[in-house]
Chains A and B, each alone.
Chain A
Amino acid sequence: MSTTVERPRTQQELNYLNIDYSWKSWLLTTDHKRIAILYLVSITAMFFVGGLFATLIRLELLTPRGDLVSDDTYNKFFTMHGIIMIFFFLIPSIPAVLGNFLIPIMVGAKDLAFPRINLLSWYLYIVGAIFTLGAVVSGGVDTGWTFYPPFSSTYSNTYVMATALGVFIAGFSSILTGLNFIATIHKMRAPGMTWSRLPLFVWSNYATSLIQILGTPVLAITLLLLAAERIAHVGIFDPSIGGDPILFQHLFWFYSHPAVYIMILPGMGVISELVTAFSRKRIFGYGFVAFASIAIAVIGFLVWGHHMFVTGQSLYAGMYFSLLSFAVAVPSAIKVFNWTATMYRGSISWDTPMLYAFGFIGLFTIGGLTGLFLATLGLDVHVTDTYFVVAHFHYVMVGGMVMAYLGGLHFWWPKISGRMYPEGWAKFAALVVFAGFNLTFFPQFIVGYQGMPRRYHAYAPEFQVLNVLSSAGASILGLGYLIPLIYMLWSLKYGKRASANPWGAVGLEWTVPSPPPWDNFPQTPVVTWEAYQYHKPWQPEVEVGR
């Protein structure tokens, strides 16, 4: 991408979407925006595959007896739901789609630091997905997404290795994306785009990338050790051949706890953008919100043992992990308070992305507070491995993260597609998602405290009422996710054309046309304003197209 090549700038209509329509121009593209679209299509497909398994789970749980499918089949359903949603939807979702699309534009660059590596990471994701989906099609896997040995290494008769290989490969995709973001954010910021002027979306993706490159290799190592034991019978985790099953849990959670921050931190970044844009306010306490992302990334590495309070680990280790788990709640709380304070004396519009932001703040608050229940040692002993945990992490991951993703997708949809989505339908869908979500997962807190263990194919009859409520909610939630899929596709052809800055928002991405030209900025922009400069007229000195 040499800057000396003079391209005719006469056709203003040329953008990254219409510059070339060939298959090759998509599959071999190194344009971060097109790669973001490739990710968008692939993770949307994976989301609906994972959602299909969720639907089947909720159908089975309508009745206490295991009567719809066999126990083995049910065990495969929840395993594949977890693996697909976590490794192939939640982890890549915001970074690989919105981050890929926006980070270069937000920092004023023409692309990520390593465009080819960016394309490679998408291909790795696809290869990983093929292995995992191949395992699903060939007969599935029944270890749970946590792959605990010795069950996974010695006892399971399913396609553990194919699935683990898929996750292993997809992990490299995640590492490369993180690497790319870190290099880009360090080295490719436009003149004037100092660290303290970075949009908070960039800050939170930076924190996410740190976790991705430091944590994911540990997952890879863990899966390799698992393979060594399963294939070559090297005694690492199975005590009957000299291993230690608790060792696996330490290694696994050393990655997989920080991984929940890989999933939620980018969502927090999106919410910071939404709350400021739709309140027309600078974020309250910019430094605190930015620093909170880094604090979550750092402390998040030190709390993994809270998944193991009942395994028999030392009680004193339990105390240490409990205390740090409370500590990691503080920066999350700081963010929630700052978003709320940002709205104070703002000019708040109720557009769809802001509805999702309201939903996020409320549901993430509940998800975060119920995390405190699980960090509290004695109480965790009762509620761990029950539906209380299931409800907690769905409040954070679906109520929080998916809400943020949908909010961000609506917010930046005009930029990505050049079209507006239908506002009425979108508001309706946001309300359906909110209502369906709460009806699905709130009853699970109660049934969890009553003692219903998770991953149960059949359950005690007294738990049925709450399970029926949950299944009813899931059908509403499923509808809530289908509506945006339909109107987003519809808007590609019939949506109103979007202007460069339909929301009146501040940020470099709103200075370029919608959709952006293939090289983002004809000239490198010079940043002379603070982030979220809503209080005075904003006249960016960059060429605003159209």
Chain B
Amino acid sequence: MEPHFSLWPEVASKHAANIDYLFIFLCVVSIIMTAGIFVTVFWFAMKYRRRSPDEIPPYIHGSWKLETAWSVLPFLVMLVMFGWGVKLYFDAYTSPPNALDVYVVGKQWMWKVQYPEGQQEINELHVPAGRPIKLTMASEDVIHSFFIPELRIKRDVVPGYFNSISFTATKPGRYHLFCAEYCGTQHSGMVGWVTVMDPAEYENWLASGGTGSMASQGEKLFQQLGCSTCHLLDQQGRCPVLRNVYGSPVKLDDGRTVIADDAYIRESVLDPNAKIVAGFKPDIMPTFQGQISEEGMMQLIAYIKSLTGPPRPPIGAADTGQTYGGGRFGGPGTPENSNAGATAPAPIGPTPITERPQPPRTSPERNR
């Protein structure tokens, strides 16, 4: 996109237009207020300027009525801003049920994007125009913030959390993607492009690459990490079976009921004792903290999400096991039930993610 100078950012979605209307409303109110104050101050300063050094102006105590008026009236206008702002806030941060899922991981200093169908890209996001998109975002290290000015949306990407954001881009084009939360040395280089495409073009693009769906990659991880031994095959009742569990209510041993959503599954993997399902014992499952990358976690969740319907046999050990997440869980071939992955397949897609040189991340130095 050619750099050009303009005073107004592009409007690439209905939400962006809605934000602009709200912005214009606040600008109009502000201009009226500012002009009112400026004109009044200047008018008083001219009209009542000191004409002789011994002037004694009249005594004016104040006025209850005026004070009440200029407290209550502005507040009423502010309530309009408040309500309108709440509406658009919920628009941006609650996702429609039919949204397309895309998964984003921020790390110093790049955005890694993966699609359920298996496409992966870095510092690029391709989406179809006219369809609601839900981004589920995680950070591998520090806090980042995912910001697309032309869509007027932003959300922090906080380590330890899944944050999500949704949007429906309406106008095809290429738009800025910025990291908006300061994240260290190359913060201003953690930028990329969002490409909003015609839906048919998007389907072509989606089919053009990919390394197997996220669910199938998650299934491999599920086996490599040894999850399947208990969570799919176990018949002795040591742990819950995960089929059909995603999105459904889970009864806990302390009486609470929670929904098995992304955050719940993430927590259960990293801190298994945090929430124990009713009827099961704590301290059986080890923690996987530090053994699984955020991308791997998203793939695992995609797999668990795909476990619907009646049971089917798990995939065999003959699958090529491409590992993701920087090989932090031992690399191919380490888990007992995956011995065929010793030769890593040639990476597919625009950028080989596992082979990408990591930016130098020096160990934290202490001040002496």
Could you list which residues of chain A lie within 8 angstroms of chain B, going by C-beta atoms? Answer: 66, 71-72, 75, 135, 142, 144, 148, 150-151, 154-157, 159-162, 230-231, 238-240, 243-246, 279-282, 284-288, 309-312, 315, 318-319, 322-323, 326-327, 329-330, 333-334, 336-338, 340-341, 343-350, 358, 361-362, 365-366, 369-370, 372-373, 375-382, 384-386, 446, 449-451, 453-462, 464-465, 504, 534-536
Best-buried of A155, A282, A319, A378 by chain B (most CB within 10 Å): A378
Q: Find chain B residues with CB under 8 A from A465 CB.
A: 5
Which secondary structure characterizes the binding site on chain A?
helix
Complexed CA–CA distance, A380 and B156 (Å) = 13
Instruction: Indicate if the CB atoms of A327 and B85 lie closer than 8 Å.
Output: no
A-B contact list, 17 entries, CB within 8 Å: A148-B142, A151-B183, A151-B184, A154-B142, A245-B158, A282-B60, A312-B163, A326-B81, A327-B75, A362-B38, A385-B147, A385-B181, A449-B23, A450-B7, A451-B9, A453-B147, A453-B179
Q: Find chain A residues with CB under 8 A from B150 CB.
A: 451
User: Which chain B residues numbered 55 to 82 have a C-beta less than 8 Å away from chain A?
Assistant: 55-63, 66-67, 70-71, 74-75, 78-79, 81-82
Complexed CA–CA distance, A362 and B38 (Å) = 6
Instruction: Indicate if the CB atoms of B71 and A330 lie closer than 8 Å.
Output: yes
Bitwise, B3-47 to A at CB < 8 A (1) or not (0) is: 111111100000000110011001001100110011011101100
A303 shortest CB reach to chain B, Å: 13
Number of interface residues of B (CB under 8 A): 98
Complexed CA–CA distance, A231 and B366 (Å) = 7
Q: Find chain A residues with CB under 8 A from B82 CB.
A: 322-323, 326, 375-377
Q: Find chain B residues with CB under 8 A from A369 CB.
A: 26, 29-30, 33-34
Instruction: Indicate if the CB atoms of B50 and A75 lie closer than 8 Å.
Output: no
Complexed CA–CA distance, A378 and B16 (Å) = 10
Chain A residue nearest in CB terms to B142: A151
Best-buried of A282, A350, A377, A455 by chain B (most CB within 10 Å): A377
Q: Find chain A residues with CB under 8 A from B308 CB.
A: none
Instruction: Indicate if the CB atoms of A239 and B160 lie closer than 8 Å.
Output: yes
Q: Which of B111-119, B186-194, B206-214, B338-346 makes up part of the contact surface?
A: B186-194
Complexed CA–CA distance, A200 and B57 (Å) = 20
Contact of B5 among A154, A338, A366, A462 (CB under 8 A): A462
A79 shortest CB reach to chain B, Å: 9
Instruction: Indicate if the CB atoms of A75 and B187 lie closer than 8 Å.
Output: yes
A135 shortest CB reach to chain B, Å: 8
B180 interface residue, CB < 8 Å from A?
A: yes
Contact of A460 among B53, B74, B154, B176 (CB under 8 A): B176
- Known A160-B367, A280-B57; contact A346-B153, beta-carbon cutoff 8 A: no
Q: Find chain A residues with CB under 8 A from B55 CB.
A: 280, 347
B134 interface residue, CB < 8 Å from A?
A: no
Instruction: Indicate if the CB atoms of A150 and B159 lie closer than 8 Å.
Output: yes
- Known A385-B147, A449-B23, A450-B149; contact A71-B185, beta-carbon cutoff 8 A: yes
Instruction: Indicate if the CB atoms of B50 and A377 lie closer than 8 Å.
Output: no
